[in-house]
A and B are shown apart, each in its own frame.
Chain A
Amino acid sequence: MTSNYIFILFHYNVEIILSGQNVNNIKEYLANDHRRCDDLFAQMEAKANSSLADTKELTEAFVADMERHFQREERVVFPEFEAKTGMLNGPTEMMRQEHAQMRNLMQQFFEAIEEDNKDKFFGIAETLMILLQQHNMKEEQMLYALMQQHLSAEAEHIIGMMDSLVVE
């Protein structure tokens, strides 16, 4: 079970390295994270479509990947941005609130799998998908660009920290 999960994460990380994106730009780095989560999401749904019972691993992988992305933001780049701009209750706080909404929703995936309730699973998936995408649009369209602008000098260092982050 865990090996499968490790394989998936490994696969994606290798893919990023192979795709030749030498990412030293915060905006690109985090946007890549979004695309990777989207792909995992689609895989999870495809699996759920054939068999919900077998979806648990992929769902765990997806939720873990999302969590890692959230923490990269909440524990690394958001505090840096807040310290630099002095904006404590601004956009980053709104993004944290949406992260909380998504975390809550993702937990319900496991209830649906437990109950073997496909309708519930896809209902959550659809809701999460739209919530996630409009969240991503806000971040990619505005927040990441601002971050790159304000944190460009420290970008490499910040990306290094996000890369080595251990998920709590």
Chain B
Amino acid sequence: MDFKGLSIDQAPPISAPVRFFVTAPIFGIIAGVLLLFSDSATLMSRYSIDAIVVTHLITIGLFGFIMLGALTQMLPVLASANVPKIKRLALFSYVTLFFGLLSMAAGLELSNSLLLWSASALLGVGFLALIVSMLYALKGVKHFTASIKGMFTSLIFAFMIVLMGIYLLYGYAEDDVTQLHYIVANIHSVWAVFGFAGILIIGVAFQVLPMFYVAPRFKQFCKKRVVILITTGLFIWMLLSIFADQYALYAKLWIATFFWAFATTVWLKFNKRKRPISDVTVWYWRLASISLTLGSFLWIYDEFFKHEYIVMVGIFIGGGFILSIMLGMLYKIVPFLVWFHLNALGYMTIPTINEMIDKRLARAQFVLFVAALIGFVFSFYMPQILTISAVLFIASMVLLEYNVLVPVKIYRRTKKTKPDFDMSAFSTK
């Protein structure tokens, strides 16, 4: 019998997830600075080097780091799944991904094949080590809930998009960009957004919305079928886009419909939630619903306009939907982890999680983020506002970093003092 998930001693140490959370906004800042110095015309092409670099600083650096940090924390709690040697593994992946992503950005910008080769090795090893260990840990879970199914499926997609990513980097390193490269790139991006991030968010929402906001539960149909229906849609879309591109639209419609339905469901669940609170995390969920709806429709609309709007779709779904959920979650998870670990160590007189991050600063960060998002959408038509949007985005990321660091500082400061209460009596060791 394995009881490890139930013990704080063996749950991941606070450093494992928090290291990822503290680093994520830095990549956001770097992406913002790059946007500042990029030409808006080049950014409008999804295959331009600048667009690829900015996209990956955000998708790997921001989403990836936050998601992996959250997964190391959530798997033991949500799924009782224990990743063996999580402390060392998380550190290993953190270091390899950190340097891998920097090599990738530099390698692409300088077209340096040595950097690109090392990026592909570091990112590949860093991602696969963590993804494979998590899949292995989840495989042993006896009670497979809808949420765990979602996580498992999304990690399978993650596994595949990493393999595709390694292949794509090889193409740039060897200057061997063929027709196949673009086909793989297309699948890589759609699976990353809808397969990995999308399904992960849906899976987690099944559990998080009813529990933390006391919102009505999702219907059995949603919990049992939606993940498999989206997965099927993503596979059919892949086959069609390779072999019969003229019909790929139908698969897209299928996928977009479910995501739009999810966005609507989230909105309605929040309307019916029993808790009266309306903090910045609720606003982020609302923003995510709106952006996902707009993004899903635009993704279909874009099909009729020679993919002119695909970058805007990326802004809505990547920035408005995925990033919103990630940021909203950070505002809950970081203060909680600090409180939980300190409290378990016997510190009783510590600020509650609402007091750790200044509410006004959290709101200001949200407003800056929304302003940047709207700016990016409109810079599609008015290139001159790209600069100001990038500045707003950088400001929102700097403020995010500050907001995340404050609880971490409280943790460090408190640990230097003596606990109010000796909890060693409860220790199982």
Q: Which residues of A are in contact with B by a Cβ distance under 8 Å?
A: 38-39, 41-43, 45-46, 49, 85, 87, 89-91, 93-97, 100-101, 104, 119-120, 122-124, 126-127, 129-131, 133-134, 136-138, 141-143, 145-146
Measured between C-beta atoms, what is the minimum distance from B77 to chain A in Å? 5
**CB proximity to A under 8 Å, residues B344-358:** 344, 348, 351-355
Q: Which residues of B are in contact with A by a Cβ distance under 8 Å?
A: 1, 3, 5-8, 77-80, 142-143, 145, 207, 211-212, 214, 274-277, 279, 332, 336, 339-340, 343-344, 348, 351-355, 423, 426, 428
Partner of B277, one of A120, A126, A136: A126
Measured between C-beta atoms, what is the minimum distance from B50 to chain A in Å? 40
CB-CB under 8 A from A97, the residues of chain B are 8, 344, 423, 426
The reply to whether B428 and A101 form a contact with Cβ atoms under 8 Å apart is no
List, sorted by A's number, 20 A–B pairs whose CB atoms are closer than 8 Å. A38-B211, A38-B214, A42-B214, A45-B277, A46-B276, A49-B276, A87-B1, A91-B6, A100-B426, A124-B352, A126-B277, A126-B352, A131-B340, A133-B211, A134-B340, A138-B6, A141-B78, A141-B80, A142-B80, A142-B143
Assembly CA distance A142 to B355 (angstroms):
32
Partner of B428, one of A39, A43, A85, A89: A89
CB-CB under 8 A from A91, the residues of chain B are 3, 6-7
Q: Is the interface of A mostly helix, strand, loop or mixed?
A: helix
Question: Total A-B residue pairs with C-beta atoms closer than 8 Å?
Answer: 101
The reply to whether B428 and A41 form a contact with Cβ atoms under 8 Å apart is no
Measured between C-beta atoms, what is the minimum distance from B31 to chain A in Å? 30
The reply to whether B77 and A134 form a contact with Cβ atoms under 8 Å apart is yes
Measured between C-beta atoms, what is the minimum distance from A16 to chain B in Å? 17
CB-CB under 8 A from A46, the residues of chain B are 274-276
- Given contact pairs A39-B214, A46-B274, A126-B277, enumerate 19 new A-B contacts (beta carbons under 8 Å): A42-B214, A43-B274, A85-B1, A94-B7, A97-B8, A97-B344, A101-B343, A122-B277, A123-B351, A123-B354, A126-B279, A127-B339, A130-B212, A133-B212, A134-B340, A138-B5, A141-B79, A145-B143, A146-B1
The reply to whether B78 and A137 form a contact with Cβ atoms under 8 Å apart is yes
The reply to whether A142 and B354 form a contact with Cβ atoms under 8 Å apart is no
CB-CB under 8 A from A85, the residues of chain B are 1
CB-CB under 8 A from A129, the residues of chain B are 212, 275
